[in-house]
Structure 1
């Protein structure tokens, strides 16, 4: 029997499959339960084909599947409408805010990228250790296979660095006190490491001490028994120059670890000045060889020296602090100064400045009194040194690390000079 024969003629004639309560409906149950004209239960195959169903009372209703489909469709239509409205609002709202000269709020819509007053953390350049303004507390530990660095969990300062940092601090404060009447003269200080030999006055050769590691000589012993002879042989000088030039070329690919190279050629005119009740000072005028112009005019006065003996290296180091006070010199004063000149030093210099450690390495070929010398010295940026001292209360390790980096640079240069082919 065809399924269509089970559906009433009214059903077949209705194109939208809808009926009224007065219409008669035939189903499979009518054939199965012919003795009962009432419809007790409806679970037939027509449930899948008819739009309308009947309840237990015989009233016609929409089928369950149709009801669910209709509800889902209605929800989908409502959701689609809300989505379209939300999307429209997301695009319109930033435009309305721009009209009111307001910054668009963070919505799902499109907007112009926000400009930062300060770089966010993820966009900041990497800052080297020496440059950090906020550092670890005084008691620090390092990466080690041990669970703690020591019985106290901290690393005690070694005597070598302690002597150097305290020596620098004491002499800077001494200059400030001595020249208080002239104002802040500490910015004219010069702190440099120079390569050479500690020379024994009696044996007339490099000093030999019964020690196995670097040490700082007692000041009285050094002044009575020794003197410092600066300079290095020409071959070691050129080898070191090639080494630093190669190092600078390699490091310049890294912006935070680059070198700045400068060349200069000048003549230093030097005259010693001694006045009653005043410390002896040296007047120095530097004249550029090419332009013949005066580059600088200073009164230089040595503040103090600290001599470091390096038994495992061919060269020792002298740490010197000097005060170089500039002074103006007109043409007449310069003519008078030239008549008092005692020494002329022709200097061809290549300077390698390493901003990351605030160190400048000067490689200088010097001609004086008919002889040629080769000098190697390192100079610390005094401006940064003074800033580290000013911030020592809030950042005590920066001053120590700055001096440590300067000393380490000196060790590297001394050991490189000691390499023998």
Structure 2
């Protein structure tokens, strides 16, 4: 077969091979970049092999890298006949808006939440400090070093068969805390009141330290007696001075036995306390207590009680706690017509006082009726003799009477608390 035969159909070649040959020749003549992108008829091109386009090689899936979604960039057959390239793609403005929308959504999700008011869990802890307590604490700190220098840090010599390294017994920390607190207040009051002996009152109230949150007695992670921080007490607690009737009776039975042994003396009084207010010349308003002795029928006694400081001792092993209070009882000579009643509130008190002279301690057991109520409330207080207290205070440095007297006063309170805990 020669070349002439290929061009001559009469030489035995059918029409079909001629048409395929012409198609191949025609296809080769249309292979160009323009024709590949925008062919005139899809049937005139052979099937393109995968990844045989520059666009496919660079980005085979037509993914818009600047966006999280895949725009529709699919190619379609051109409907034009003039050979123009018409690649189908979305409008530029629409694509930009979609991209911005995706970015804004991402930003909103990842942006941290901002609070107008700082949440509780993110706030800094700033303890509330009572100004009066803060000033009182500062005064105590200023006097504590002076008191430590005045008293003997080794109070007693050990008389036991066993001795400490230095041969002395260290001071009791609770007693030292109370004596230091008391020293700071007495030192300040003695400078302002020359007649302090006549108006000073130091007493221990017996009751419960109650949580304001639960309205129950506090449960601290301590197992021994301890003093409470005043800021904590004022913010979180209050002191309930009422005793159970059975406990009040137990203490009374205890003192009746001591009375039989002539260790104490007893004094009984019945009084009514009423409360008034009075406005002074400079507009200062004071609260006054007017006490009437219903037994002796003596004249009414008008007193302004000025509370100066308090210290709370928690006794976790006992039924009750202790609250030490320093106050001034200032007699007032004010005409009755200038007194303004504070309602009809009154306190009727049936009191039995047991006095123990060797320890300069007086214990008051009181049945209280408030207003017109017939319900009894029971209270117990321990009070120290003011004269002996100030004498011991003035003798600090020469002897240990001051710390010994306060220690004995506290021991008397502990004896009563442990007596109640036996029941």
- For Structure 1 versus Structure 2, the TM-score category normalised by the shorter chain is 0.5 to 0.7
Question: Unaligned 5+ residue runs, structure 2?
Answer: 1-151
Conserved 8 A contact 2:155-2:171: no
Q: CA deviation at 1:272?
A: 4.9
Q: CA deviation at 1:415?
A: 1.7
> In structure 1, how many angstroms separate the alpha carbons of the residues matched to 2:284 and 2:210?
26
- 1:172 is matched with which residue? 186
> In structure 2, how many angstroms separate the alpha carbons of the residues matched to 1:302 and 1:387?
22
Match of 1:285 among 282, 286, 290: 290
Q: CA deviation at 1:137?
A: 10
Q: CA deviation at 1:266?
A: 0.8
Conserved 8 A contact 1:282-1:301: no
Q: Deviations over 1:314-361 (max 9, x none)?
A: 1001111111011234xxx12443634663110000000000000000
Q: Please tell me whether residue 413 in structure 1 is matched to residue 396 in structure 2.
A: no
- 1:154 is matched with which residue? 168
Q: How does 1:5-84 map to 2 (within 5 A)?
A: none
> In structure 2, how many angstroms separate the alpha carbons of the residues matched to 1:240 and 1:338?
38
> In structure 1, how many angstroms separate the alpha carbons of the residues matched to 2:418 and 2:216?
20
Q: Please tell me whether residue 401 in structure 1 is matched to residue 404 in structure 2.
A: yes
Q: Please tell me whether residue 140 in structure 1 is matched to residue 143 in structure 2.
A: no
User: 2:311 aligns to what SS in structure 1?
Assistant: strand
> In structure 2, how many angstroms separate the alpha carbons of the residues matched to 1:317 and 1:165?
15
Structure 1 length-normalised TM = 0.60
Conserved 8 A contact 1:272-1:342: no
Conserved 8 A contact 1:172-1:186: no
Conserved 8 A contact 2:278-2:339: no
Q: CA deviation at 1:235?
A: 1.5
- 2:376 is matched with which residue? 372
Match of 1:385 among 363, 375, 389: 389
Q: CA deviation at 1:279?
A: 9.0
- 2:350 is matched with which residue? 348
Conserved 8 A contact 2:204-2:325: yes
Residues 279/378 of structure 1: CA separation in 2 closer, same or farther (3 Å cut): farther
Residues 415/323 of structure 1: CA separation in 2 closer, same or farther (3 Å cut): same
> In structure 1, how many angstroms separate the alpha carbons of the residues matched to 2:286 and 2:206?
23
> In structure 1, how many angstroms separate the alpha carbons of the residues matched to 2:336 and 2:279?
18
User: 2:250 aligns to what SS in structure 1?
Assistant: helix
Match of 1:310 among 297, 306, 315: 315
Conserved 8 A contact 1:271-1:343: no
Q: Deviations over 1:106-155 (max 9, x none)?
A: xxxxxxxxxxxxxxxxxxxxxxxxxxxxxx99552132121x2x211111
> In structure 2, how many angstroms separate the alpha carbons of the residues matched to 1:153 and 1:304?
37
- Computed over aligned residues only, the root mean square deviation of the Cα atoms, in angstroms, reads 2.5
Residues 401/276 of structure 1: CA separation in 2 closer, same or farther (3 Å cut): farther
> In structure 2, how many angstroms separate the alpha carbons of the residues matched to 1:271 and 1:166?
35
Structure 2 length-normalised TM = 0.60
> In structure 2, how many angstroms separate the alpha carbons of the residues matched to 1:278 and 1:415?
48
How many residues are treated as equivalent by the alignment? 271
Residues 276/342 of structure 1: CA separation in 2 closer, same or farther (3 Å cut): farther
Conserved 8 A contact 1:269-1:341: no
Q: CA deviation at 1:295?
A: 5.1
Question: Unaligned 5+ residue runs, structure 1?
Answer: 1-135, 253-257
User: 1:339 aligns to what SS in structure 2?
Assistant: strand
> In structure 2, how many angstroms separate the alpha carbons of the residues matched to 1:244 and 1:302?
29
